[in-house]
Structure 1
Amino acid sequence: MPVVSAFYGLIISLYYRDNKRHHKPHIHVWYQDSEAVLSVPEGELIEGSLPNSKMKLVLAWMEIHKDELLADWKLAADGQQIFKIDPLK
């Protein structure tokens, strides 16, 4: 599971060839014992949960980097190497 970005205790990943279970572009986000799956680029919660303050940070980051996330999704869905995305600063 490649890590796309990490900031403020959040780890954001894309799985290679992970387009069968959720059937749409998405990211996996971990924070401590919480895990959430969010659609890209909408930021809709598909599965799991995060603390509200951390969810707001992830959604802001997704808005800034939506084009890069979609490009990485396409690469990962095809089993290709993805690119790191700058963390939220």
Structure 2
Amino acid sequence: MDKAMPEISRFFGIIIAMYYNDHAPPHFHVRYGNQKAVIDISTLGIIEGELSPRALGLVTEWAALHRVELKNDWELARRHAPLNQIAPLE
């Protein structure tokens, strides 16, 4: 991941990031091993890609707990401002 896609959280080998200047709807990117997916912040559904059921369950649980923070980071990314780290799932 690079500065264009800052990592905002990491847990159980799952990496969560957001691109600056990304397209709507508000979403975040997930990488887990060779798996990649784009998750809609509002619905928590997969927009693109694919995750194993276990990884998707963990990501969905985490995102549901941090939806407000994800929306805030989305707005920061739109303004090219530094993104806030979000606590990992424990």
Same fold (TM over 0.5): yes
| TM-score when normalising by structure 1 | 0.94
Number of residue pairs the alignment of both structures matches: 86
Q: Which residue of 1 aligns with 2:15?
A: 11
Residue deviations 1:19-44, cap 9 Å, x none?
A: 2xxx2100000000010000013211
Residue deviations 1:30-62, cap 9 Å, x none?
A: 000010000013211100001100100000000
Letter in 2 for 1:38: I
| Structure 2 residue 31 is matched with structure 1 residue 27 | no
| TM-score when normalising by structure 2 | 0.93
The 1-side partners of 2:50 and 2:26 are apart by 18
RMSD: 0.7
- Runs (5+) with no aligned partner, structure 1: none
Q: Which residue of 1 aligns with 2:37?
A: 36
- Runs (5+) with no aligned partner, structure 2: none
> Secondary structure at 1:42's aligned position in 2?
coil
> Secondary structure at 2:15's aligned position in 1?
strand
The 2-side partners of 1:74 and 1:65 are apart by 14
| Structure 2 residue 59 is matched with structure 1 residue 55 | no
Structure 1 outlier segments of 4+, above 2 Å: none
Q: 1:78: how far off?
A: 1.3
